[in-house]
Structure 1
C-alpha cells in the first residue's frame, strides 16, 4: 500500500528581488512630471497659433527624459542575478559574472573588464560623512558604557537621519548600505577563473524611452526651424 503523501524534498521558496532606487530622485521626478503636465497642458489648452504644437512636442521630448533619469533607474537583485535599470538601457548579469562593485563618486559594477554605472544607487559624500560620524558616536557610547565623553557627560539621543545599522552593526548611508548588501549577494557566487566560462551581461536598450524622446526632438526642431 502506497502512501498518498509526497515525501520528495520540496524546492526552497523563491525570494522576490530586492529593489533599490533613489527615493529623492523618484520624488523629484514625480514633481517634475506634475510641473511639466501643468505648464504643457495649460499651453495646449490656452495657447494659440503654433504654441499648442510646440508644447506637445516639448512634452513628447521632456516627459520620457524625466522618467528616464528620475523614475526609471532601479536595481533588482535576486539570489542568482542582478538587473540594473539605467536611464537608457537595462543590464542583466548573473552574480557569477560580476567582478566587483565599488562606490567612490558614483556606484559602479565591474564585469569582464567593462564598467557599468548604477544610476539607482547615487553616492552622497555628505550622507556618507554624516553616517560615519553617527557610527563613531554610537561606538563611543557603546564602549564608554553609555557615556560619550571622558568627563562623564551623558550622551544625548542619536538622531538617525540614515538607515538603521546593517547586519554588522555599522551605521552607513543609504547608498553604502545598499552597496554592502549587493556585495554580500555577489560574494555568494565565486567568479569563474576561466573567462570563457563566465556568463556575459545581457543589455537591452530602452527604446520605449529613446523613441518618443527622439520623435519629440525631431518635431520640436522642425517646428522651430519652420517658424516665422
Structure 2
C-alpha cells in the first residue's frame, strides 16, 4: 500500500445561501460561464463542458463515462451519442441517470440527478449538420461500445464511409445515422459543491417539489448537506 498520498487543502470560496441564485439553472449557468471564461484565460480548465454521465445496466451495475454537454437550457443538460451504445442501451432499459460537471482547479462541481429523455430528432439533426465533416464520418464508422478487432479495422471503416460521402463543404454531405441521437436530463435534483479548507465543503442542493423547468423558483426547494 502506498502511503505517500498527496494532500491538497481546497482553497475555494464555496457557496453560501446568501450567494446562491434563485434557481438551479441560473446558478449552474453562472458557474459554467465562469468555467468557460477561465478555460479561455488559462489552461487549468481545459474542457469546461465535460460531463460525467452515470447509468445502470440490466444487472443493476452502475456505469460511468465522460461526454460533452452540448445543450443546457431550462429543460436540463443534454448530450449526443450513439443510441445503440452502452449508455443508450442502459437508458432504454432504465432511464435513471446522474451526471456531473467538475472543475477541480476552481474547486467546484455541479451534480444532476433525474431521468433521461430522448432529444427531439430535429434538434439532433441540426447539431449533426453543424459538426465537422470528419466527425460526421466517425459517427458512421464507430459502432460505439461494440468490440473491434484492431485500430486498423476502425480506420478502414472510416475510410470506406469517407469515400462514400466525400467532403464537399455542405451540411448535408453526410446523412444523419438512424442510431445517432441524444438525451436530455430531466432533473429532480441539482447539487452545487464548493470546495473549502479543512474538508468543510459547501453542498447546496435544489430538490424538485413540483413540475417546472430548472428556471422556475416555485418548482424547487433549497437545502444544505454536510460534506
The TM-score with structure 1 as length reference comes to 0.24
Quick one: higher RCO (CA 8 Å, sep 6+), 1 or 2? 2
Choose 1 or 2 for highest CA Rg.
Answer: 1
The TM-score with structure 2 as length reference comes to 0.24
* Richer in strand (by share): 2
